[in-house]
Structures are given as C-alpha cells and as structure tokens.
Amino acid sequence: MTLTATTSVQAPAEPPHSALGDREWLLDCHCAGPVVDLLRHQGWTVSSDPYANVHCSSPDQRVYVGFLPEAEEARRGELWHIHVKGTDGKVAWSQTFGSGVPAQAVAGFLAALIAFPNRCCACV
C-alpha cells in the first residue's frame, strides 16, 4: 500500500523559546471540575452519589463518563471510566485514565470525542 500526501506539509518554524520553555504543562488538576463543566455545557446529565463519585451521560445515553475516586477501580489506578455504546446498546469501546492524568487532559479527550460525531473516519 502506498500513501500519497494530498497537500504539501511544511515543518513548523521553530517556536520562540518562551512559547514552550515557560509553559506550565498540565500536572496538577485531579478533580472532576474541568470534565463536569465541559459535559454540562454540552447538555450531558451529571449526577453524584453519596461516595463522591460523579457519573455523566451523553444526551443520547450512549456515552458514560465516570469519575470514581471511591470505587474499587480507583484502588487499581483507574480513576476515570469512559464507555461508548454502539447502536445495539452494547459497549463498543472503553477507556480509563488513572489518577495521575490531569482532569484537563481527560476533558480534552472528551472534547475530541464530542467534536467528531460521525461514526467513521474519512479514511474508511
């Protein structure tokens, strides 16, 4: 199989040192706030249980996001749980993130998922 670029690609110019050198990378936020804020603004249902776990469901009920600090899975290193169901109602795929992953990074993952509502990639 041969892949051919359809547009020319140029390497970006070297960014000024201050663009990356002085940057504060995502390291600290381990609460549910950034994810909950994003999902609420997208019309998702957000609820919490008596154990401080947060559960979020997409408007079509096909995506579940759980922030589960008090669940058994968290003791194994799985703080965030994301499950995506197919049209048949079965989980098509899932992703977990550990407690070391900042909430902003999880929110970025979900923002990308929300931004591409089509089932298939253009390459298929």
Domain boundaries, the chain: 29-114
pTM of full prediction above 0.95: no
pLDDT tier for residue 3 given thresholds of 50, 70 and 90? very low
Predicted pLDDT at 117: 74
Tokens 């899975």 correspond to 73
CA distance 32 to 82: 13
Q: What is the pLDDT of residues 59-103, one digit of tens each?
A: 999 999 999 999 998 889 999 999 999 989 999 999 999 988 999
- Characterize the bridge pairing of strands 45-48 and 54-57: antiparallel
Q: What is the pLDDT of residues 30-59, one digit of tens each?
A: 789 999 999 999 999 999 999 999 999 999
DSSP bridge pairs for 91: 85
At residue 118, does pLDDT exceed 90?
A: no
Cα dist from 55 to 10, 22, 115, 121, whole Å: 43, 36, 21, 28
